[in-house]
Amino acid sequence: MERRQMLHIPGPTNIPDRILRSLSQPLINHRGPEFEALLSTCVVGLKKVFRTENDILIFPSSGSGALESAIVNLFSPGDTILAACLGVFSDRMAEIGEKHGLNVIRLTMDWGKAVKVEEIEAILNKDQEGKIKAVCLPQNETTTGIGIDIEGVSKMMRRVGHEAILVVDAISSLACVPLETDAWGVDVVISASQKGLMLPPGIGLASVSERAWKRVEQSTMPRWYWDYKAVKKSMTTSQFPYTPATTLLFGLKEALGMLTEEGMEKVWERHQVIGKGVRNAVEAMGLTLFAEKEYASDTVTAILMPENIKYKELAELLRTRYDIVIGGGLQKLQGQIFRIGHMGAIHFMDMYAVMGALEMALVQLGYEVELGTAAAALAKTFIKK
């Protein structure tokens, strides 16, 4: 039977019906009063999700485009930045920086390990001349399913008094795990539509602090599409320099409504409980979590492939027989791990089907585990005492 696949890749995520319907609204004039009202509602809602009073900029782009926007607006060719490299997507930030002529200090970790606050602190302390213009960190790295303690890094940076700004890639963490842009003092937060915001891909987001705006003023990097000053002006006048992705804004309005109705704390708690349940089920089945456990991500879980089982066979079986789509290992992890996304419009009961199907598929492929083990572990985590 044709049915909606359960999309448990590390994003994009399943889109709720209410949002899907909103995407089929006829277009409106992006220079008219209806659009102004729509945009204004979206910005107010985004500020609640980002927990910030900083400017929010909206781009018709993927999240990676928003990453590039940070590089070309905040820096000048030859500038030095520190970038934590924990996987494909945090490497990307470094790569984009280098492409645009930055000197990138890569703080590269073994994949599966988190960067600790102290490691960053040590580097900043050594930088007596203040060469490092920014610390660039992912809040969540989906390659390995690891998180970074952004709050800890923020506090440390204030404590040590280094001039670097803090740029956080929250693409796969916004509206999933706690982020307090203003309370923690994060200068630039980059995100996108297709993860915690429960939307299709196509919107890139950036929040920009006062401190960061000063850097924008100093930047000599050539840019046009990504120009923060032009987009900022648009956000207030609703006169975009280019046509905005109106349809996704219809969806964004719905998504922000849903998040507000649930409450951000509840949203975060939901992801936390589900993440815990998934990890418990993984371990109960005798499988091995790939990422350092204290820093495990609550939005995606990476699991070592059991011996003698091939990723392609597992993924194919899950997709064709169980209608569940998971992700594989990227680059050097190809075939080594598999990844289960659990972010966005997710219900803890969804994981029953996902982990139950995983259990059955593994057994079919020769893995030994007692049927029902995953469900028992989930239930023990989820049941209200």
Residue numbers belonging to the annotated binding site: 339
How far is the C-alpha of 361 from the C-alpha of 338, rounded, in Å? 13
Residue 268, C-beta contacts closer than 8 angstroms, at least 6 positions apart: 176, 177, 178
Annotated binding site for substrate: 339
Of 120 and 378, CB closest to a second copy: 378
| Smallest separation, CB 384 to a second copy (Å) | 6
Q: Please list the helix, strand and coil fractions of the chain in percent, rounded to the nearest 5, in that order.
A: 45, 15, 40
Longest dimension (CA), the chain: 64
Of 119 and 352, CB closest to a second copy: 352
| Smallest separation, CB 70 to a second copy (Å) | 12
Sheet-wide strand order for 132-138: 55-60, 203-208, 188-192, 165-169, 132-138, 80-85, 103-108
| Smallest separation, CB 323 to a second copy (Å) | 6
First to last CA, the chain: 38
Of 75 and 290, CB closest to a second copy: 75
Angle between helices 350-364 and 373-382 (to 10 degrees): 160
| Smallest separation, CB 59 to a second copy (Å) | 8
Of 17 and 129, CB closest to a second copy: 17
For 132, the token pair is 């490092």
| Smallest separation, CB 67 to a second copy (Å) | 8
Of 162 and 339, CB closest to a second copy: 339
Residue 173, C-beta contacts closer than 8 angstroms, at least 6 positions apart: 138, 139, 140, 147, 179, 195, 196, 297, 299
- Count CB-CB contacts under 10 A for residue 331: 10
Of 130 and 366, CB closest to a second copy: 366
| Smallest separation, CB 152 to a second copy (Å) | 29
